[in-house]
Each structure stands twice: as C-alpha cells, then as structure tokens.
Amino acid sequence: MILRKLAIVALGAAALTSCKEGGDSMEGADLTTNWDSLSYSIGISVGNGLKGQQLRDVSPKVIAQGINDVLDSTALIDGEEANAIIGAFMDKKRNEKSAVAASVSEGFLEENAKNPDVVTTGSGLQYIAIKEGTGDKPSSTDKVKVHYHGTLVNGNVFDSSVDRGEPVEFPVNGVIPGWVEGLQLMSVGSKYKFFIPSELAYGERGAGQMIGPGETLIFEVELLGITKGE
C-alpha cells in the first residue's frame, strides 16, 4: 500500500516538474500537449488524494525535488529509508486517530449501557431487541439471510443492505466477532440493534475508507432466514 502511494505521489511530482519545464514557476502552466494535460490531470488526482488524507502540509516543491534527485542519482535518502519514514508517519496518524476513536467509543458505550433496554454481554457486545421473532436461532455453522443498516457512533452510514434494497446471505462464522455472537442470540423474524466495540469489529486496522481504527459500529439487523449447515 505504501509503495503504491509512493508511486502515485511520484507521478504527481512528475506532473509538477513537467509543468515547470521552461521556468522555475508553476504558475500559468500551459496545457499545450497531451502530455501536459495528462501530467496536470495526474497532479489534480494526487492533490485531491492528499487533501482527502489531510496531508495539506506536504510540499509539492520538495516532492518534485525528490523525484528529480532520484532521476539524477543524488537522492538525500534511499528508498528503504523513505519507506520507513512514510510508514512511521502513517502509523503515528493511525494511532492518533485510533486513540481519539477509542475515547469517543468508550464514552459512548458507557453511556449507552445505562439505557435500561440495552443488554451487555460478557464480551462487551451491547444490543437492544427491537422485535423478537419466533423462528429458530442460527448456529455458528449455519448460513443466514439478513437485512442490516450500519452506522458509526456519529450517525454516518458506512454500509446498508436496507438502502440497497437487497438482503444478503453469508455464513455466521464468516463475519466480525460481534456479528457472530449477536446473530446466535436472534430467532428468525427478530430485529436487533447491535453496538459492537472495536475489539469485536475491525480493531486497530479499521476497514476501508469509512471505518477507521478503534471505531465502535452500530447495526440494526433483521434475521430473515437460516440455511442449516452440515
């Protein structure tokens, strides 16, 4: 992942140097050729990526210098050290984000546990039984059919079969631990709301762009059916 990001940044820096040909300033770049347009478009893409990762303080000029120094074999640090620097920075940012999320999640779960409708299991999973069904309960070896709606504690939706209008099927033991435990509490026809601590979800690694490290996840889950395992 780090190497891929490096390659993207490198292309962006190449775009910057391309726009600078013929002068020291990047202002008023002329997009007179297809290569100019391609270079500038790569720069736009990289710039958007850096903004999205909140890396506004990086220096485009220094990035361009790094590219030029590599091409001239005059780089101040080698590739291995560069990767280590980037890796250390990304780890630091991830740890900082995780610490903030963990603090928010801890406060949320502590307050949520005071709700008389909330049940907290030994693992730390919290749930509310919105509706109790009358069907069978799945085992860990079964496959289930569910509708679900997933949000973060701030209310942001990160995934929802309800919004897509199509339920999903999967093995009970093929999902995050909070789901594995929670599904086996439900009878077919039930609808529960799960509050899943990070350690029962995606932990310190997070998942995709929406779920950061240390995030507590909230799901409304309706158990529609069970396919019995062997």
Decide: 109 and 174 in contact? Cβ < 8 Å: no
Q: CA torsion, points 37, 38, 42, 47, in degrees to nearest 10?
A: 0
Closest to 162 (Cα-Cα) out of 148, 144, 179, 145:
148
Rounded Cα–Cα distance for residues 178 and 196 (Å):
6
> Checking DSSP bridges between strand 191-196 and strand 119-120, what pairing results, if any?
unpaired
Closest to 210 (Cα-Cα) out of 101, 99, 92:
101
Query: Residues 6 or more apart from 75 whose CB is under 8 A from it?
Result: 66, 69
Q: Which residues are catalytic?
A: 148, 158-159, 176, 202, 219
Number of other residues whose CB lies within 10 A of the CB of residue 216:
24
